[in-house]
Amino acid sequence: MELLNERKIEIEPGLKRMILIELVLPTALLVIGIYHGLMQVLYRAGHIHTRKVLGLEYYQGLTLHGVVNAIVFTTFFAVAFGYAVIRFYLGRVNMKIAWLSFTLMIVGTLLAAGAILSGTSSVLYTFYPPLRAHPAFYIGLTLVVVGSWIAFFNWLPVYFSWKREHPGEKVPLAVVGIFAAFIVWLIATIPVAIEIIFMLIPWSFGWVATVNVPLARMLFWFFGHPLVYFWLLPTYVMYYTMLPKVSGGKLFSDFAGRLTFMWLILYSAPVGIHHQFTEPGISSTWKFVHAFFTMLVAVPSFATAFVMAASMELGARERGGNGLMGWWKKLPYLDTQRWLFGYFFCGLFIFIFGGVTGIINASYNLDIVVHNTSWLPAHFHQTVAGPVFLSYIGMTLFLVARLTGKEIKLPRMNVWVPYIWTLGIMIFSTGLFISGASGEPRRTNMGLTYANPDSPLYHADWQTPRMLGVLGGTIMTIAALMFFIVFFATLFARSTRQGALELVVSEPYHDENVRAVQSFTPWLVGAALLLVIAYTPPIVQTLRSNFPGAPPYTPDRPTPINTSNP
Amino acid sequence: MTPALKLERRIVIIATAFVLVLFGLAAMAINLFHVGLPTCLTDIKPFQKGELIAHSPTHYELRYVAKMWDFEPKEVTVPAGSTIDIYVSTPDVTHGLILLGTNLNLMVVPGVVNYARVKLDQARNYQLLCHEYCGTGHERMAANLRVVDAATFAAAKSAATPAPVEQGDAMVKLLEAKDCLTCHSVDGSDGIGPTFKGMFGRKTKLKGGSTITADEKYLREAILDPSKTIVDGFDDVMPKPEITDEEVNALIEYLKNLK
């Protein structure tokens, strides 16, 4: 795949090795994460009527699926991709600090994985108290987060020295996007760090007897929604800076990209209570405020959809595509030279549905129809397992192949991966949307009761959508298997040239110069103000209401843990 | 401005208007259809007892206790057309409550009571489920809210003179009161623990490989010190029950007859 003429730079062997490990290790873990995704649909459709398969209990496997796929894989990728972007556009980073961040993240992952596999932390990736996980679970997650913070802090001096050496120049768009991602990440992880470090860890060791559950939940969702923009922002970096080029066009508007990134810094956090619409302890007024802000955070995603379509259209029309729909035929859907296109394009397509259902969920009282039903996993698989997952695995394959100087193996198989995945996820989600709209609960071992014809709780009406879930889930697993074959075949192939750091760089079509989006400062001040407005009253309410605290429980016993004998 | 650009601008305006209209409709529904969201109640303290309280023939207060892994009360009946104020509280972990076929969808959070009002006009059985993961038995956590027409309800009420209670029914009440039925069933299906049906006298394989016959001595030991012997295929999760000697004797007699 030499057609794209990407810019390439030789990088230090140490940084190269670190980026490679940070990409390959979570991809290997993903094999386990996706295996349990498949087990999920089988359990839920009633093909499995037991608590555990191959030593892995249902809720334990579900915890693993969420933590590996949504927290470990995404955070490692964001850090590795961040290093690649910063090194590529700005310059050298401090390797000592880089290895410190790397070590913390690896140790944290091992601790959390050990806690889950030992069966003592089946609390799902939302770890709602008063269900209590093993302290190693909380400590492991904290180390992963702190490690990722250190990576970000490591980029700051590089950024400032680049600014000093390039006065008056616009910061490269990809760098703005990566910084936006990690600013959102910092905003998001501070409240959850407070929850974990000051509330859950002392409580899980038995040093404090009880925990304020409404407060812990509010801090969790203060983190939980900006988290999804942390996942999405690296994807948007790829969309704005690479998709136009791989599609054969130019970025329609550079300003749109910058505005999108700044807008997400501003609005991604004061929206968390839209996950808590059906909860007690929060006044409906503040629920409405958060619903309103959520509508505003949808705007940059609409803008992105528009700009991406315009960028692809530019190139397609230059190649002779015409008419209202004719230019769609001129895109490189199955071009093995431009294989990244499919990974980006399919994600955009899936996100149309993920985005629209997100608007539904956030629409205040509309949420009571779908809250905590299987509608929700259908929605977020169309976001995190759509654009985010596809762009992350595509970029992982691209970076690994280029850094090691290898050709993509099985290129014909590779170009089909995103399309088969898309087919699978659309079928899977359709099933879950249908049964979710009629109340089928999420995160439930259906095979024992609601999907078990021998149980008095059996629901025949959810059986057809469940079959769609199995069909879609199986197709997704096949696509993932194809990807793993291509990935590991490429990884273990012989190098054909000197490895280098390469990124695709799109040219802008409109290269606007709008001052308002060229400095982070006003947007950071705005974000801080909005957070104070949106969260001070609900948190004060939670603290002042003086809710009785809750002692810890393990998921398998209906009595609290005896704190003297944990 | 080119026609294409004009068209695109129009589409952006239409899309924005669409979102605003959707949001406006959601806001209107609060007043027009009384479909609101739960708010913060601090004057009602968490309660321990689930019950149905009749305020008038068509107005009920239904207090649910959601606990690992059951709702209390498990089964209630109200006449069609009733307005029901539902309060829900939990003594242990986070649960959820969804009343299938209605707009009732509540989180149940430790330390704070949740509330919503429903009006049920149709005579049918409404099932409520726990929709938040609450531990190993989560998928069994369900209950029924029966709505019957007013005539049936009145007839059932007048017929509710104390009927002779059979010994079996009294035992089931005891088992329910001691939370045994959360994990064990009397109908032959294994749950978190083995079923009670046919348990007495059965040759049972234990964890570790030995086999015993479930006689009186074994059952007494298994009730009073559950961690000592674990049936193969199940986990050591049963807490020591608070139970008197008389109750243990009665329970063993009951198991003898539950074939």
Span A136-147, pLDDT tens digits? 999 999 999 999
Q: What's the pLDDT at B187?
A: 73
* B96–A439 C-beta distance less than 8 A: no
B103/A441 Cβ within 8 A: no
Q: Which phi and psi angles does A93 have, rounded to 5°?
A: -110, 165
Encode pLDDT of A362-407 as tens digits: 988 889 999 999 999 999 999 999 999 999 999 999 999 999 999 9
Q: What share of chain B is helix, strand, coil (3-state, %, to 5)?
A: 30, 25, 45
CB of A461 within 8 Å of any CB in chain B? Answer: no
* pLDDT reported for residue A29: 93
**Cis, bond preceding A537 (omega within 30 deg of 0):** no
Confidence at residue B258, expressed as pLDDT on a 0 to 100 scale: 81
What backbone torsions phi and psi does residue B182 show, to the nearest 5 degrees?
Answer: -60, -35
> Hey, are the CB atoms on B182 and A558 less than 8 Å from each other?
yes
| Whether the Cβ atoms of residue A342 and residue A414 lie closer than 8 Å to each other | no
- For an interface test with A, give the residue of B112, B179, B187 to mutate (most A CBs within 10 A): B112
- CA of B95 to nearest chain A CA: how many angstroms apart? 10
Q: Is A443 a catalytic residue?
A: yes
Helix, strand, or coil (residue B89): strand
Do residue A548 and residue B111 have CB atoms under 8 angstroms apart? yes
**Cα distance from A15 to chain B (closest Cα, Å)?**
42
Among residues A317, A349, A442, A484, which one is catalytic?
A: A442
Q: How many CB pairs under 8 A join A and B?
A: 192
Phi, psi of B82 (to 5 degrees): -80, 145
A-chain CB neighbours of B227 within 8 Å are none
| A380 assigned to active site | yes
Q: Which two tokens stand for residue A479?
A: 């696509």
Q: Name B52's bridge partners.
A: B62
ipTM: 0.91
> Could you tell me which residues are beta bridge partners of residue B67?
B70
- pLDDT per residue rounded down to tens, chain A (566 residues): 444 556 888 999 999 999 999 999 999 999 999 999 999 999 999 898 888 888 889 999 999 999 999 999 999 999 999 999 999 999 999 999 999 999 999 999 999 999 999 999 999 999 999 999 999 999 999 999 999 999 999 999 999 999 999 998 999 999 999 999 999 999 999 999 999 999 999 999 999 999 999 999 999 999 999 999 999 999 999 999 999 999 999 999 999 999 999 999 999 989 999 999 999 989 888 998 999 899 888 889 989 998 999 999 999 999 988 888 899 999 999 999 999 999 999 999 999 999 999 989 998 888 999 999 999 999 999 999 999 999 999 999 999 999 999 999 999 999 999 999 999 999 999 999 999 999 999 999 999 999 999 888 999 999 999 999 999 999 999 999 999 999 999 999 999 999 999 999 999 999 999 999 999 999 999 999 999 999 999 999 888 777 789 999 999 888 898 754 44
pTM of the predicted model as reported, rounded to 2 decimal places: 0.89
Q: Answer for the pair B230, B236: CB distance below 8 angstroms, yes or no.
A: yes
> Tokens for A17?
């090795």
pLDDT, residue A420, reads 98
Residue A436 in tokens: 């979710």
Residue B48 tokens read as: 């321990």
- Of A447, A392, A450, A455, the residue nearest A418 (C-alpha): A392
- Most A CBs within 10 A among B109, B144, B180, hence the mutation to make, goes to B109
Q: What is the least distance, in Å, from the CA of B58 to any CA of chain A?
A: 25
**Active-site pick, A36, A217, A225, A258:** A225
| Nearest chain B residue to A275, by CA | B107
The nearest CA of chain B is from the CA of A192 a distance in Å of 18
Closest residue of chain A to B43, computed from CA coordinates: A545
Choice among A380, A428, A433, A487 that is catalytic = A380
**Catalytic (active site) residue A229:** yes
* Closest chain A residue to the Cα of B237, Cα to Cα: A557
- Catalytic residue list contains A379: yes
Q: What is the three-class DSSP state of A49? A: coil
> Using the beta-carbon criterion (under 8 Å), do A278 and B112 form an inter-chain contact?
no
pLDDT at residue B5, rounded to an integer: 80
Answer whether A274 touches B (CB < 8 Å).
no
DSSP letter assigned to residue A386: I
- From CA A308, how far away is CA A506, in angstroms rounded? 12
Q: Which amino acid is at A171?
A: V
Q: Which of A295, A547, A550 sits opposite B19 (nearest CB)?
A: A295
How confident is the prediction along chain B (259 residues), in pLDDT tens digits per residue?
A: 688 788 878 988 898 888 788 778 877 877 777 778 888 887 788 899 999 999 999 999 999 999 998 999 999 999 999 999 999 999 999 999 999 999 999 999 999 999 999 999 999 999 999 999 999 999 999 999 999 998 888 888 777 655 444 556 777 777 777 778 777 877 777 777 888 888 888 888 887 778 888 888 888 888 888 888 888 877 777 877 878 888 888 888 888 888 7
The residue annotated as part of the active site, out of A49, A317, A371, A443, is A443
A-chain residues near B94 (CB < 8 A):
128-131, 213, 217
Q: What is the distance, to the nearest Å, from the Cα of residue B2 to the centroid of all Cα atoms in its chain?
A: 62
**Cis status, amide bond into A231, omega within 30 of 0:** no
- Shortest distance between the Cα of A359 and any Cα of chain B, in A, equals 8
Q: Say how far apart CA A362 and CA A288 lie, in whole Å.
A: 10
Is A225 labeled as catalytic in the residue annotation? Answer: yes
Angle, helix A135-165 to helix A173-194, in steps of 10 degrees: 150
Contact between A93 and A15 (Cβ < 8 Å): yes
Chain A residue numbers touching B22 (CB-CB < 8 A): 359, 363
Q: Which among B40, B134, B227 is the top mutation candidate for probing chain A, defined by the most A β-carbons within 10 Å of its own β-carbon?
A: B40
Which residues in A lie closer than 8 A to residue B237 (C-beta atoms)? 556-557
**Are A398 and A242 spatial neighbours (Cβ–Cβ below 8 Å)?**
no
Give the SS3 label for residue A502: strand
A291 inside 8 A of chain B by CB: yes
Which tokens belong to A103? 């070590």
